[in-house]
Amino acid sequence: MVVSISYLLTLVGNTLIILLSMLDPRLHSPMYFFLSNLSFLDLCFTTSCVPQMLFHLWGPRKTISFLGCSVQLFIFLFLGTTECVLLTVMAFDHYVAVCQPLHYATIIHPRLCWQLAAVAWVMDTTYNEIQLAVSSFIFLVMPLTLILISYGAIARAVLRINSAIAWRKALGTCSSHLIVITLFYSLVIAVYLQPKNPYAQKRGKFFGLFYAVGTPLLNPLIYSLRNKEVKGALRRLLGKDKDSREN
């Protein structure tokens, strides 16, 4: 029951983020373009495993075929790789927004946005065992390294700012993304970097379930609750924004 409700809320939350990014002109920016890609990815990810999980929980069959398991593993690896790259792209977008604000529109132009999104979505995930070890470094460690470098540069730029308003704006731009990155990599570490014992395996199953169900649910909540522009777009969509009615 909890998984079913979480899945429905995930569908509603991420679909709402995508619709707001498409329908509200004030959200037609690179940041929300990448955010809508992340929401679409979360929809694909949770839909690739949760409906089948519910079918096996409620139905008489409790097993999955080898072909079905292989397909699900491929989709899982593909979407996980895409999320790593997409989070890195979003970190680069935030770096340019904070550190190069005057050149932001020139650097992060629409064509580059589509190219970066395409790079995130077309990564090859057909690995053998040796390639899997190499790809784990390329698609997990390297993106995390680039993210840390980007936010290191952002931190240096923010520390040089004397304006309290600029401080709050920079933190508002980056805080939601930082929370999502921390949640994503914490769960990846909890699932894959643990000792081989029965207790760790049970704990790994719990974290794996939370990664599949909880993360796609929390991402739209994190971005909407901590983002005035998203909340404003939702009010305008519902016709409850005072400024839009006055205009």
Query: pLDDT confidence of 127, banded at 50, 70, 90?
Result: low
pLDDT given at position 81: 83
Query: pLDDT confidence of 213, banded at 50, 70, 90?
Result: confident
What backbone phi and psi angles, to 5 degrees, belong to 163? -85, 130
> Quick check: 193 pLDDT over 70?
no
Alpha-carbon gap, residue 50 to 124, rounded angstroms: 24
Please report the DSSP string for 73-95 in residue order.
HHHHHHHHHHHHHHHHHHHHHHH
Domains of the chain, start order: 2-246 (1.20.1070.10)
Alpha-carbon gap, residue 81 to 97, rounded angstroms: 25
> Quick check: 194 pLDDT over 70?
no
Per residue in 31-84, pLDDT tens? Answer: 899 999 999 999 998 888 888 888 877 777 777 788 888 888 788 878 888 888
Which of 182, 237, 215 lies closest to 7 in space, CA to CA? 215
pTM: 0.82
pLDDT given at position 89: 92
Average the pLDDT over 159-169 and give the result.
75
Conformation bin of residue 239: beta by default, left when phi > 0, alpha when psi is -120 to 50 = left
Per residue in 141-161, pLDDT tens? Answer: 788 888 999 988 888 888 887
Alpha-carbon gap, residue 182 to 151, rounded angstroms: 13
Conformation bin of residue 59: beta by default, left when phi > 0, alpha when psi is -120 to 50 = beta
